[in-house]
Amino acid sequence: MPGCRISVWDPEGPPSGADVALVWRPPAELFKHETGLTTLFNLGAGVDALLKMPEIPPHVRIVRLEDAGMAVQMAEYALYALLRVSRDFQAFDDAQSRQHWDTREGTRPADWPVGVLGLGQVGLRVAQTLADFGYPVAGWSRSPRDIPGVESFAGEAALPAFLARTRFLVNVLPLTPDTIGVLNRETLSRLLPGAHLVNVGRGEHLVEDDLVQMLEEGEIAGATLDVFHTEPLPRDHPFWHDARVHVTPHIAARTLRDESIAQIAGKVAQLLRGEEISGVVERSRGY
């Protein structure tokens, strides 16, 4: 980026005088040192951690990554989790360990209605991908969306009906004061029997104790979880020890270096030309 001076922040050194910072979970100290910042590029899609920081002055523009190769990774993750349960792959692994030729009856995509909570760039890609594989897919969002092959449910009032037709629930909502704890006993108990939960949003979307109990009671059949209240997931957490729960370490969609650099460099160039950029967070909305 000729014309730009780029440096790595040094908390020990003098302020760099930067206008723009690229951050992921920055320390509060950054904002005391770098008082000239006007724009923060978050090196991830979710900006919940930044919005919890009172040290970031209100005039600073916060920009999230927009897809940047993350949406397709989320779609892969959700598809993997869905095929694993809907095609009984775990059972075939178990059968192989017993050298057993298990000719169990297959299920049909129609037996696995999918619900995607959140239809932003990521949710849209997830919903379209699973619909392409022939699964009945619905999406839930704040306002109605017109997506071919995906049934749209919108707003708080439509949530119970959305859940009641869903067996495989994928959460890709942003974490906001409205969505904290949205996956709880009351909502999860509305799902179809034999339900499976995929959480690739944030740990705080899920009331973890509710899920632990519902798995125990057989109210929920299984879960594939990438995000947790405490990360790394503590060693004694029940999720590690439950065969119905598949744990991954917040890797569902990694920030891709080249795609992110290209996106942010393009937006910095737009800002320098005085143009509007997309992906600017509306703080009052929380994403």
Q: Mind telling me the catalytic residues?
A: 202, 250
Nearer to ligand GLV, 194 or 203 (CB): 203
Give the tokens for residue 273: 């030309």
Q: Are 174 and 198 within 8 A, CB to CB? A: no
Chain residues that interact with ligand GLV, rule: CB under 6 A: 44-46, 255
Q: Cβ 194 to ligand GLV, closest distance in Å? A: 29
Q: Cβ 147 to ligand GLV, closest distance in Å? A: 22
Q: Edge-to-edge strand order for the sheet containing 61-63?
A: 20-23, 39-42, 61-63
54: Cβ contacts below 8 Å, ≥ 6 apart: none
Q: Cβ 78 to ligand GLV, closest distance in Å? A: 15
Nearer to ligand GLV, 44 or 136 (CB): 44
Helix then strand then coil, in percent of the chain rounded to 5, is: 35, 15, 50
Nearer to ligand GLV, 213 or 255 (CB): 255
- Residue 206, SS3? strand
Q: Beta strand pairing status for 245-247 and 137-141?
A: unpaired
Q: How far apart are CA 142 and CA 161, in angstroms?
A: 14
Q: Cβ 263 to ligand GLV, closest distance in Å? A: 13
Q: How far apart are CA 50 and CA 286, in angstroms?
A: 10
Nearer to ligand GLV, 43 or 192 (CB): 43
Ranked by CB distance to ligand GLV, the top (closest) residue is 44
The amino acid at 275: E
Nearer to ligand GLV, 85 or 252 (CB): 252
Identify the burial level of 263 via C-beta atoms within 10 angstroms of its C-beta, where 0-12 means exposed, 13-18 middle and 19 or more buried. buried
Q: How far apart are CA 200 and CA 20, in angstroms?
A: 29
